Amino acid sequence: MSIELKDINDASRLRVKKAEGNSPISATELFRFSFGSKNTSFPNPKVVDVPLPLLNSLSPVCEAWDCGEITESGNIGNVQFSKSDSWLMLHQTFKSDEATPVEKLTENAYKEMLKFAYDSGYLEVLRTWNFIPNINSGVGDSEQYRLFSLGRAAAFDTCGISMNELPAGTAIGITRDHGLSITFLCSRRRVERIENPRQISAYRYPRQYGLKSPLFSRAVLAHHNNPKLLFVSGTASIIGHESIHTGNAEQQLVETMVNLEHIEELAERHSDFHKDPGNTVYKIYIRKGHEQSLISSEIVQALCSAFDVIILEGDICRSDLLTEIECICQF
């Protein structure tokens, strides 16, 4: 992109926390992810329902994103939006019986949302969440995740997004009962991308992972936020470009945590980063059938005792991966 981002003199205060699912939504809350309940009776455009089983709470919870600025929200066509002077959330959910192939659906959705963001003056897409029906179904290049990656790449290419402008990202599988769900977080201010030297950048993966590599950054650092924010993409047991510890969920969890620690260490070097345990949220995704061993593991129990943690059942983008973790670190 060649457009210059608008300078914001007073950086906003975007904070993220885990809260009760039925807690009131304030005028300064940009949006929330809702887990364990559904936004049906009176849909609120600030609420994004995540169609995954919640594993570590019997009652609904949410991940609330408060920006410290008065927000405006609504719907334009199929796009939910909520915005403040500094931040923009966009979301689309599609019907489960959508006849359009996932690659075309993804391309159209990404292009529409990117245009919405750019036309509104939010020219930095810094984080995306993608929930994809039957993510591992299909063989070879016909796998749903690879087709999703194809559509995403086409949209980024059309909109002129280069490899050093990619957002942090998560892609998790949902059941056939739900349709494709895509959420963007955008800013008016530039951010910094961080890659993990233990891993080949996803956008440089070899041909064996599809016609188009997955286009996301390992992490994005928002220096301008107060407090600063590190958005870490969905991270799994991958070294170089290969899945490690196939079939061993607990060893995959250990390797995932090592990758997360490397990213956080890099952020420390870039910005005097010191993670605030009271303002850090982890989302742990666990493939069905491996919930018991992972939730009871020492690593997950230690995370739950020190940070806000949300544990969800969902399929990982590679069929040989059993868990994935994303986080938002505030400092």
In order of their start, the domains of the chain are: 15-330 (3.30.1330.40)
Q: What does the pLDDT read at residue 6?
A: 41
On whether the CB atoms of residues 281 and 327 are closer than 8 A, the answer is yes
Model pLDDT for residues 17-45, shown as the tens digit of each residue: 999 999 999 999 999 999 988 766 568 99
Amino acid at 328: I
- Diameter over CA atoms, the chain: 50
pLDDT for the residue numbered 41: 58
pLDDT tens for residues 232-267?
A: 999 999 999 999 999 999 999 999 999 999 999 998
Q: What is the pLDDT of residue 98?
A: 72
At 42 the pLDDT is: 66
Q: Which pLDDT belongs to residue 149?
A: 98
Dist CA 181 CA 130 (whole Å): 6
Low-confidence ranges of the chain (pLDDT < 70): 1-12, 39-42, 273
Alpha-carbon distance values, 239 to 1, 200, 205, 306 (Å) = 31, 8, 12, 27
**Residue 142 gets which letter from DSSP?**
G
